[in-house]
Amino acid sequence: MKYYSLTTPSHKISFQQAVVSGLAPDGGLYMPEYIPELSNEFIGQLPTLSKTDIGFTIARPFVDESIADETLREIVSETIDFDFPLVVLEENVFALELFHGPTLAFKDVGARFLARILRHIAKTIHQEIAVLVATSGDTGSAVAHGFYNVEGIRVVILYPSGMVSALQEKQFSTLGKNIQAIKVAGTFDDCQRLVKQAFQDEELRKTRFLTSANSINIARLIPQTFYYFLAWSQLNTPKQVVFSVPSGNFGNLTAGVLAKKMGLPIRAFVAATNVNDVVPEYLHTNIFKPRASKQTISNAMDVGNPSNFPRLLALYNNDWNYISKEIHGYAFTDAETQTAMLDVFTQKKYVLDPHGAVGYLGLKKYLESTPSAQGIFLETAHPSKFPDVVESAIQQSITLHPSLAGLSHKQIQSISCTSNFSDFKNLLMKH
């Protein structure tokens, strides 16, 4: 399997090179040169297969032979060694809980896979790898813990000052050792821009072995397909399955589409966003207008220019009629999100996080016109990561998850930086 740049399709490299590079030299995202198709027999056997067997079968065609079967199977097994339960909320409405990993967020899957792939690569190239990542919350936590104390890897996490929850910030900014957090005076889009500029800076690339841990890295994207297969395998009658994906950078939804292209029989997708609605707007109008992000209670989705959107277009051959037929976009306000959280808690005694609540709203909106479908929305983070937002919405206190309770006494070790690239570059060169 080779990987090509979306900007220059003639530029093709190996999986290992794509992982280490993060972005192509021309700034383009890497995509596999073809989408491997899984057999109907494999799809039919999903309910009887182990998580490791499912993940390994999916990953093997994407990963080159420099990583042997035994090693890849071990990487997959370590990546998904926690539960992915499908919870029934009401008839034909299911919550896929993706927050049972070490940092209580879906991004544990991609971060753990990427960390183990890079650990393997670092041993072969005998050089320290610097991992850059921009976060609006959960990515930073997942990457920090996935790479913590990994030999040969140094991680730099950029996050927007005042725009991540206190618990999220403490999860990734208190570790120290090979994890450095940088608090940027700006938005998540500014953080994302700084990371992209770093990859295109010749001086940095000559002096630092740089790669990315954002979902722009293909090794973050591939493992996120696993849990779509795991969810489908848990349905008793998996017919007309629709996935509603709370979306910010659109890596999660892109992974779902990849799963469908590989053969998973998914009827449709819902791109559910907060008021940062550039993709739902595109799906309705065929006009894509990136803009500055707005701050909301579902902070991990506060993205005004989603990085993975070009990949999503590529999977649909840049055909608006095609993509708008399979992906339905809906956007919701904070007030609507809070109301959904209260209603679900009152009626179902289930606590939604503010991102999962957006996914729930998107699914309910879709089912209004297609009541015969079975819908799964992704619960992407544990609600106790957002105690102030959740408690305000459901009008009741919640119990903090044990892994978060111990963070209160830890000291934040962030470095402050402007959103100016030269300032950020000086920090990278210095540290």
Per-residue pLDDT reduced to its tens digit, 239-248: 789 999 999 9
Q: Is the pTM of this model over 0.75?
A: yes
**Average pLDDT over the chain, rounded to whole?**
93
Please write the tens of the pLDDT for every residue from 101-112.
999 999 999 999
Q: Is 87 helix (H, G, I), strand (E, B) or coil?
A: strand
In a domain, 251, yes or no: yes
Annotated catalytic, 107? yes
Sign of CA dihedral 357, 362, 367, 368: positive
Contacts of 76 (CB under 8 A, 6+ apart): 52, 55, 56, 59, 113, 223, 226
In a domain, 224, yes or no: yes
Q: 328 pLDDT exceeds 80?
A: yes
pLDDT of residue 229: 97
Could you tell me the residue range of the domain that residue 322 belongs to?
Answer: 83-103+220-402
- Neighbouring CB atoms inside 10 A of 52's CB total 18
CA 255 to chain centre: 9
Residues in the chain: 431
Please write the tens of the pLDDT for every residue from 194-223.
998 998 898 988 888 888 887 889 999 999
Please write the tens of the pLDDT for every residue from 44-54.
999 999 999 99
What's the CATH code of the domain at 368?
3.40.50.1100
In a domain, 30, yes or no: no
pLDDT of residue 136: 79
In a domain, 125, yes or no: no
In a domain, 200, yes or no: no
Q: Which is more confident, 126 or 395?
A: 395
Catalytic residue among 107, 170, 183, 364: 107
The two tokens of residue 392 are: 């305000």
pLDDT of residue 1: 93
CA 164 to chain centre: 16
In a domain, 29, yes or no: no
Distance CA 234, CA 229 (A): 9
In a domain, 128, yes or no: no
Q: What mean pLDDT is predicted for residues 122-134?
A: 86
In a domain, 163, yes or no: no
Q: How many domains does the chain have?
A: 1
